[in-house]
Structures are given as structure tokens and as C-alpha cells.
Amino acid sequence: MDNYQQSSVFLVVLLGVLALLPAPAVQAAAENLFESEVVVPDQSPGVRSHTMKTALQEVLVRVAGQHAVLTTGPAMAMLKNPDKQVQQYRYFTVPESEPPVLKLWVRFDGEAIRQALQQQGVTYWGAERPDTLLWLAVEDRGKRYVVAADDGTDVYLQIEQAARQRGVPVLFPLMDLQDQSQVRFSDIWGGFFDNVMDASKRYNPQAVLIGRLNRSPSGGWSSRWHLEVAGQPSSWSDSRQQLDRLAQQGIDDTADILASRFAVSQAGGNLDTVSISVTGVDSLADYSRLSDYLSGLTAVVDMQVARVAGTEIQYALQLNGSLQDLTHTVTIGTVLEPLSIATPGSFRLRQ
């Protein structure tokens, strides 16, 4: 059987299957986006009520991608009675903490929060978040080091906590012999990033963050940051008296930049309908993988197959946001790749 006959048979089979299958449901965002842990002094109702509000504020900032969300109508309405958004909660003691540290863990209703924000045109940042590799050089009163994965230093723990609060998936390099042979402390500190970017390929991140933290003799901290995501660089600096504040602000700034690219909004309550085409769909397994991926994207509200021609499928998508927003999201994924800037809406299925 030649290639034309194979494509024709696949087309007939696929059209038959599509007629029988329901449209894929939109998948909910990752559940941990709507979870929070807050230290509490006790389990009294008053403390719990106050802590629920604090936890909901953290979640709202995380999924909106900006602190300004707390001043919007939907957020203020939810914060008046945060208990209504709670699905589960429990208390636990942090293992091996001395003295014992009590925390309240809360999970909120993610779908209700998403709908409340998007229906009022507030930006929403779902589960499509780029894995961000962080090369962090620290000079602490003469002590110089590059923070490695799971090294347990104060800097590592502060960054990890800040990243968890904002929902930024941060990973650190191993700093094993391979990393050390490619990246020196002076490369990061001096702003010579070519070696850093080359070494980053090993980890296949969607974004690379390079940070430099310096502790002055008086005890204060200063920082310089450089972020590369989808070929677009951003740089900034900051200074704080406390390390935890500096780490929090560095990750806050990173999250703000990422959200500006990947968060979507339903401006004025209107939805855009766009057409996209995807090539390289060679089997029913490919079609299933593609449809599951598209239907799970935050920006996609509804999808229909408009046309099948050989190994190319054309979809009609109803979107929160624009085709450009969708393309930005696709670039950090592993399922689709844009064919050409000159032909927006054309993609290839990665094999």
C-alpha cells in the first residue's frame, strides 16, 4: 500500500471515530495551584478563619499572576468569605521541626476561582508554566558558591518557598563535575552567560533564570537577575535588608514576567474563535494525544475538528485570549511547535 492509500485509509478511519467520540472535556488546572500551607499558632476557629483568608490571597495571586488581583471585584468578593471556596483543610506539624511548627494546609475550589476571575475579565494563569532553571551565585561576606539542587542552604530554602508560593516550577542545577566544567562562579557573577546557556541545555528548561546575590558587610543584601524565556531576555536588580524578602521579590518579579506572557484574559467577557492546523497527525494515537493536549490548555474553552486532510487536522478553537497567547503557551510545551512566524496558527505535532 503506497503513502497516498495509507493516508486515505487513516482519514476514513479517523473521520469515523470522530463521529462517535464526544468532544474532549477541558481539563482542570493542576490541583496544587489551589493549595496553600500557612504557619499557625493554634487550631482555634478565629485563627483558622484569618489563616483561610491569607491562604486564599496567596492562591489568587498565584493563579492571576499579579498581586493587583487582590484589588479586583471578584477577589474581594471571595476574600469576604474564604470558607466558601475551601474544599479541604487539615493541620499538620512540620517533621523534625524544633520547637514544633504547626501548619494549616488548605485546598480551594479551583474551578470556582477560575470562573469567577475569567468571567470578569481578570487574567488567569493556569497549569502551563515553564520549567525554570535557576543558576544562582551567592557572595556572602567572602564566601562564594553556586546554589545546587537540594543543597539545603538558607538561600535554597528561601527560593524554594518563594517559588512554591507563586507557582513557579524552579529547578536548580546539580553542580556536579559536568556542570562545574562548563560554568564557573565568575561566569555568573561577571554576566558572561554564554557558558551558562550552553550548560542549561542539559536540563532542557523552558526558561533560564540567572541570579547574583551579594551580602554587604553591614548585613544587607542586593541582587541582579536575568531571565531568558522563549528567546526574550529581561534584567533587573533589587536590594533588601533580609534574605527572605530579597528571594521573595526575585521570584515575584520572575512570576510577573512569566505571567505577562502566559496568563490569559477574557476581555469584556468575549471569546475569540480561531482556526489552527496541525500537521504530522499520523495515527489515532497521535490524534488522541493532540486533542487531549489542546483541550487541557487554559486558553481553550471549546474545540471542534473542522477538517481532516491526510495527516493534517484543522481545529476551530474558542479561546480565552488570542491566537498569540495560545502560541506563547505552545512554545513551552512538548506537544506542538509553530511551523512559521509567517503562518500564524500552523503547527506541527512533535514526535
Residue 198 confidence (pLDDT): 96
- Choose the weakest-confidence range: 15-19, 113-117, 308-312: 15-19
Q: Is the pLDDT of residue 20 over 60?
A: no
Q: Is the pLDDT of residue 271 over 90?
A: no
Q: CA 117, 123, 129: angle at the middle one, nearest 5? A: 115
Beta carbons within 8 Å of 130's beta carbon, 6+ residues apart: 169, 205, 206, 207, 229, 258, 262, 332
Q: CA 202, 203, 205: angle at the middle one, nearest 5? A: 130
E-strand spans in the chain? 35-39, 86-93, 102-108, 132-140, 143-146, 170-171, 207-215, 221-229, 232-240, 272-279, 300-309, 312-319, 336-338, 346-349
Q: How confident is the model at residue 239 (pLDDT cuts 50, 70, 90)?
A: very high
Reported as half-sphere exposure (CB side, CA atoms, 13 A), residue 100 has a value of: 7
CB 271 within 8 A of CB 119: no
- Choose the weakest-confidence range: 100-104, 189-193, 270-274: 270-274
What is the rounded average pLDDT of the residues 280-298? 92
- Predicted structure pTM score: 0.83
Q: Is the pLDDT of residue 28 over 50?
A: no
Q: What are the contacts of 240-248 at 24+ separation with CB within 8 A?
A: 243/154, 243/155, 243/158, 243/213, 243/215, 244/158, 244/161, 244/162, 246/213, 246/221, 246/222, 247/155, 247/158, 247/159, 247/161, 247/162, 248/158, 248/162, 248/165
Rounded Cα distance between 322 and 313, Å, is 20
Interstrand relation of 232-240 and 272-279 (parallel, antiparallel or unpaired): unpaired
Residue 2 confidence (pLDDT): 52
Residue 13 confidence (pLDDT): 47
- Choose the weakest-confidence range: 61-65, 145-149, 323-327: 323-327
Q: What pLDDT digit, counting tens, does each position of 304-337 carry?
A: 999 999 999 999 999 887 888 888 888 888 899 9
Rounded Cα distance between 329 and 349, Å, is 15
- What is the percent of the chain where pLDDT is above 90? 71
Residue 214 confidence (pLDDT): 95
Owner of C-alpha cell 529547578: 171
- What is the percent of the chain where pLDDT is above 70? 89
Rounded Cα distance between 74 and 118, Å, is 9
